[in-house]
Structure 1
Amino acid sequence: MTNTQISPNSQFPIVDSHCHLDFPDFDGQLDDVIARAAEAGVTRMVSICTRLRNLPQVQAIAETHDPVFFAAGTHPMSVAEEPMTSVDELVSLSKHPKFVGIGETGLDYHYTAESAEAQKESLRIHIDAAREAKLPLIIHARAADDDMAQILREGYANGAYDCVMHCFSSSAELGRAALDLGFYLSMSGIATFPKSQELRDIFATAPVDRILVETDSPYLAPKPHRGKRNEPAYSAHTAQVGADIFKLSYADFAAQTTANFDRLFAKAAQWVPT
């Protein structure tokens, strides 16, 4: 079991807006992981399905644990290996009461540039589904800033939709393009790394009412847990850095990012346990 240092700010609720609780790293440990999250003040989390074939496992986690919601899509790095989804399929899946976002989708030319055209097609399908389902689009972007900005703008010109740039670590230009469309930037553990000052400077120029916090766990553990398996409880460490970036108290930053999450993920905010 991972030994989690509980945040001294755990009385202030925050949200882990992006994690992967179905990954093998958490096998047999979910009860403990979710309990540690609650102790750290993380009252809700969104577990992301990156391959639609894995949706039953992700959905079951959300159905079993009240604090967990889920989203689904085809990750850009998996597009070449997965059947191309459709708008109708994604919209149909979105009817589940705890299904709160479309994706993650996007473009990744760093690892999978050879599937760029299929990634673009998949991204456009997810944009149309997000618009039709009236749920936020969850974007993964790596080494594809120009194409990403162009497709997001083109999609918006065809009709408004909501969106978050998950684990944002791209250029200031892509960040500004997203913010200009009314989108959100999500802060991960990368923002806590010593060499990420340029990224922290980009976040500092964004409106604080467009910022979310996430872990992307089990990846990208923030300081002081860097190099270890990440988990939702560690959102508190990233949130502390976020508070410092925006010169806010932890309490105020936690309240602001929670309000931001509730505005963007309105379906999660409205959900009531049965």
Structure 2
Amino acid sequence: MFDTHVNLHAEAFEDDREEVLARARQAGVKRFLAICDRFDNYETVKAIADANEDIWNTAGVHPHHAKDFPDLTVEALLTAAADPKTVAIGETGLDFHYGYSAEQDQVANFRRHIDAARRSGLPLVVHTREADEMTADLLESEYKNGSFRILLHCYTGGQDLADRGVALGAYFSVSGILSFKSAKDVRSVVSTVPLDRVILETDCPYLAPVPYRGRRNEPAYLPHVADALAELHNMSREEIASICEHNALQLFNKIPS
């Protein structure tokens, strides 16, 4: 299996990162994508990837932190994108739930990342929360200026954004949220997404799946995310894991298969 969204540089993993990775590998996770949430964390995230043959990384600024990087340039993102271990741009996007960064800062940040994804050919890891319509509008508008590859990560959006994302050829990643009893709406929308466009993630240390909900999440729990998706499609864990790994390697095609 391929855990396509791990925050391994998080403080939650400072004391036992190697043990966490060992448990994940024992559980069948063979590849990891370490996410850069702030550009000043890029070297830290890349160092984790450089130290492990089965870990790759992204380069980007989460929308929460958009206000902190007003001078981030497309060229800086492209320089990072040239590194062999850097296989995606992001995570980026729009998040209006907490309002940590102003709308105009988030939009400007998002557009820079889109330009970098378009110019580098690397997929764009998109975080969107309480911003479905604006996210879809912006992606469609930018797509007219030149295509780029899209991943709507940890998808919890509505049907309209899902439909518009599918029309743009987007991929969708599912997390432990899919296993929550309260996530009926998420399961309903995800069930409509073509299965060849779905991949798995933990988003660890957040969003631990059932039966670990409320605990620190780990990549070792990825099989439980696979189980939730398998149940949705009346398939086995092994079938889902194989399909999603294939999809992830199609998307992150800079990674050797």
TM-score (norm 1): 0.92
Structure 2 counterpart of 1:177: 164
Contact map agreement 1:84 1:122 (CA 8 A) in 2: no
| Structure 2 counterpart of 1:257, from 225, 233, 244 | 244
Aligned equivalents of 1:117, 1:110: Cα separation in 2? 15
Q: C-alpha displacement at 1:204, in angstroms?
A: 0.8
SS of the residue corresponding to residue 122 of structure 1 reads helix
The structure-2 alpha-carbon separation of the partners of 1:259 and 1:236, relative to structure 1 and needing over 3 Å to count, comes to same
Decide which of 107, 128, 135 is 1:120's aligned counterpart: 107
- Give 1:166's match in structure 2, choosing from 124, 133, 153: 153
Contact 2:70 2:109 in 1 (8 A): no
Secondary structure of 1:267's partner? coil
1:74/1:103 contact within 8 Å kept: yes
Once the two structures are TM-superposed, the CA of residue 84 in structure 1 deviates from its matched residue by 3.3
Task: Tell me the residue number matched to 1:133.
Answer: 120
Q: CA shift at 1:129, angstroms?
A: 0.3
> Does the 8 Å CA contact 1:188/1:220 hold for their aligned counterparts?
yes
Preserved contact between residue 63 and residue 101 of structure 2 (Cα < 8 Å): no
The percentage of counterpart residues that share the same residue type is 39
1:214-268 Cα distance to aligned partner (Å, 9 max, x none): 0111100000110000011111100111111122221111110000000000012
Deviation at 1:61, TM superposition (A): 0.3
Correspondence for 1:145: 132
Superposed, 1:187-266 pairs within 5 Å as: 187-266=174-253
Gaps of 5+ in 2: none
Report the alpha carbon displacement of residue 95 of structure 1 after superposing the two structures with TM: 1.0
**For each residue in 1:69-102, what CA deviation from the matched residue of structure 2 results, as whole angstroms up to 9, or x when unmatched?**
1002011011112343111110111111110100
Task: Report how many residues are paired.
Answer: 257
1:58 paired with 2:45, answer yes
Shift in Å, 1:114 = 5.7
Q: What is the distance in 2 between the residues matched to 1:131 and 1:213?
A: 24
Distance in 2 of aligned mates of 1:251 and 1:216: 21
Question: 4+ residue runs of structure 1 moved beyond 6 angstroms?
Answer: none
When residues 89 and 114 of structure 1 are mapped into structure 2, their CA distance, relative to the original with a 3 A threshold, is closer
- In structure 2, the residue matched to 1:6 is none
What TM-score, normalized to structure 2?
Answer: 0.97
Q: CA deviation at 1:113?
A: 6.9
Change (3 A) 1:59 1:174: same
Looking at structure 2, the residues matched to 65 and 30 of structure 1 have their Cα atoms a distance apart, in angstroms, of 12
Say if 2:85 is the partner of 1:98. Answer: yes
Mapped partners of 1:157, 1:248: distance in 2: 37
Give the aligned residue type for 1:205. Answer: T
Amino acid at match of 1:203: V
> Which residue of the partner structure matches residue 68 of structure 2?
81
Residues 11-32 of structure 1: per-residue CA shift (max 9 Å, x gap): xxx1100010001100131211
After superposition, what is the alpha-carbon deviation per residue over 1:146-200, rounded to whole angstroms, capped at 9, x for unaligned? 1100000011111111111011101111111111100011101111100101111
Cα distance in 2 for partners of 1:31, 1:121 equals 37
